[in-house]
Amino acid sequence: MNINPDTFLMSDLAQGDTGLPFVVWISTGMLPTDDARIWVSPGNKFVSSQLATVALNPDVRVIEGQISADDLSLLHQWIEINRDIIEGHWTGKIPHSADAIVAIRRVQ
């Protein structure tokens, strides 16, 4: 199932916001799934053909697209320090993207 969310429903977190060498996109739970998801695009801009979809539960895993093992390891570290924010935004407990973005912590 190829699901590419509308970009206007997602908020991008630039490399400076996350400490990661790629852009991460977060969203409220707009898809018909209970699993929190994020999207990753290489470099510093959105390229839909290069977008990877990553599920957070029950474990961090790529469910569509590709990401290198090294980048996935870094992403996993970042998710763990921000899981409460990502899942809170996904479930609507943090309904506004601006609130989620300012709460995000960088990976070291």
Q: Half-sphere exposure of residue 85, counting CA atoms within 13 Å on the CB side?
A: 20
Which domain covers residue 47, as residue numbers?
Answer: 7-102
More confident residue, 107 or 12: 107
Asked if the structure places residue 57 within a domain, the reply is: yes
Asked if the structure places residue 107 within a domain, the reply is: no
Cis amide bond preceding 21, omega within 30: no
Asked if the structure places residue 108 within a domain, the reply is: no
Asked if the structure places residue 1 within a domain, the reply is: no
Asked if the structure places residue 67 within a domain, the reply is: yes
Domain count for the chain, please give it: 1
In 3D space, the residue among 4, 10, 5 whose CA is nearest the CA of residue 100 turns out to be 10
Residue 9: which pLDDT band, with cuts at 50, 70 and 90?
A: low
User: Over 80: is that where the pLDDT of 2 sits?
Assistant: no
| Token duo for residue 47 | 């390229």
Q: What is the pLDDT of residue 95?
A: 87
Asked if the structure places residue 54 within a domain, the reply is: yes
Asked if the structure places residue 90 within a domain, the reply is: yes
Task: Give the integer Cα–Cα distance in Å for 30 and 16.
Answer: 26
Please write the tens of the pLDDT for every residue from 51-62. 999 999 989 999
Task: Give the integer Cα–Cα distance in Å for 52 and 62.
Answer: 7
Please write the tens of the pLDDT for every residue from 47-88. 778 899 999 998 999 999 999 999 999 999 999 999 999 999
